[in-house]
Amino acid sequence: LVKMKISKLELDGIVLIEPKVHIDTRGNFSESFRKDLLSKYFDKEFIQDNIVESHKGVLRGLHYQLNYPQDKLVQVLYGEIFDVAVDIRKDSPTFGKWIGQLLNCINKKQLLIPSGYAHGYCVLSENAKVMYKCTEYYNESDQYGFIWNDSTLNIDWPIKTPEISKNDSKLPNFKL
């Protein structure tokens, strides 16, 4: 019995996970993580979970780590986001390319983003609660990023005037 559909996306290492949702009169049930099924695509161990709550129009990112790189498994517990990964591996044939997915609490889709990608998302619903599993502990001194609206990346964000943090507003442009 298949519990979830796992698909490789067009950028190397990026995987979309679609849990099977069982619905009845009481509500619904789905498995949000299956190491045995994911191990065919990913062989690292998750060691930290993060939960972030944001309101409509907030954009977080685009962030990455260099010395303690994190692979992330992103899912939405409440609300809806547009989730983006940008290939920042200089030797990759898809360097500078991005992928975006709508993740929400109804479709329960998850995005596996390996290290070597910058990550960001914007909130489309009134509020959203996002959880992501990480393969490395958070290290405050190892936070890097680039500006969300970099013209060379031309990311098609579904919002045009997001609310971003003071730190994110000072991020540099992406360099091809």
Active site residue 119: no
Q: How many helices (H) and strands (E) does the chain have?
A: 2, 13
Active-site annotation holder among 63, 68, 78, 144: 63
Q: What letter would DSSP give residue 162?
A: -
22 is catalytic: no
State how far the Cα of 68 lies from the Cα of 33, in Å rounded to an integer.
23
Q: Determine the distance from the C-alpha atom of residue 111 to the mean position of all C-alpha atoms in its chain, rounded to a whole number.
A: 6
Q: Please tell me whether the peptide bond between 9 and the residue prior to it is cis, using omega within 30 degrees of 0.
A: no
SS3 (DSSP) at 168: helix
DSSP conformational letter for 35: H
Catalytic residue selected from 64, 117, 121, 132: 132
Q: Report, as residue numbers or ranges, the catalytic residues.
A: 63, 132
